Amino acid sequence: MHEHDDTGDKLEHAYFCYLADKFEREPELLEIPLQTISRWRKRGTWGGTFLERWETLIRAARVSETSMKELAGILRADDEETREFKGFDPFPGVLKDGEKEQFICASRH
């Protein structure tokens, strides 16, 4: 029986919690994932339903504190459905290189 190493899962959860904190402190950064979604759409990237949901959440979070709390709650959630949704996240480019390093898993697989 192979034991599951959940280091990557923990790092991924920490990454999304970090993003939630960052967006709450710097809501102007929400422009970055909106630009990413726009670029991906132009390229015809798959995951359209997920991207639409992300776009709706992010646009709402830019104008409403309640919606920002909803977005942050989704980013901090750690259930099966939310993990699948976060598999299509449009957040590359939000973190600076120095910030990213703490979430990189040096997997032996």
pLDDT, tens digit, 9 for 90 and up, residues 43-54: 887 678 899 999
Say yes or no to pLDDT of 107 above 80. Answer: no
pLDDT, tens digit, 9 for 90 and up, residues 8-28: 778 889 999 999 999 999 999
User: For the whole model, what pTM was predicted?
Assistant: 0.85
pLDDT, tens digit, 9 for 90 and up, residues 85-98: 999 899 999 998 88
Range 61-75 average pLDDT: 97
Distance between CA atoms of residues 5 and 106, nearest Å = 12
